[in-house]
Amino acid sequence: MPEEPTLALAVEDMTCGHCARTITSAVEAAFPDAKVEADIATHRVTISGRVDARVVADVIAAEGYTPVVLEAADGNVGSKPA
């Protein structure tokens, strides 16, 4: 079975459990089939599933956070939301 694409983002202003839950809920609302993991200690959000890196970054930014794409299956690396 092929591995699902993965997207990793740095979200330096994700500092607490509330932040992590807010980001996780927002991404899951936009991409219900995605698996979202938010790690407060590393300020990293990892998403498994077919998602669009720019849309995910925009969704997180709309919640008031500053995401930076670190790794994306679609090659959209190092981008910030418009």
In a domain, 80, yes or no: no
In a domain, 29, yes or no: yes
Residue 67 has pLDDT above 70, yes or no: yes
Reduced to 3 states, what is the DSSP secondary structure of residue 4?
A: coil
Q: Quote the pLDDT of residue 4.
A: 74
In a domain, 82, yes or no: no
Domain extent at residue 56 = 6-72
Taking only the tens place, the pLDDT of each residue in 5-47 is 799 999 999 999 999 999 999 999 999 999 999 999 999 999 9
Q: In sequence order, what are the residues at sequence separation of 6 or more whose Cβ sits closer than 8 angstroms to the Cβ of residue 76?
A: 53, 54, 69
Model pTM?
A: 0.85
Residue 79 has pLDDT above 70, yes or no: no
Closest C-alpha among 17, 29, 35, 36 to residue 62? 29
**Total domains present in the chain:** 1
What average pLDDT does range 46-65 have in this prediction?
96
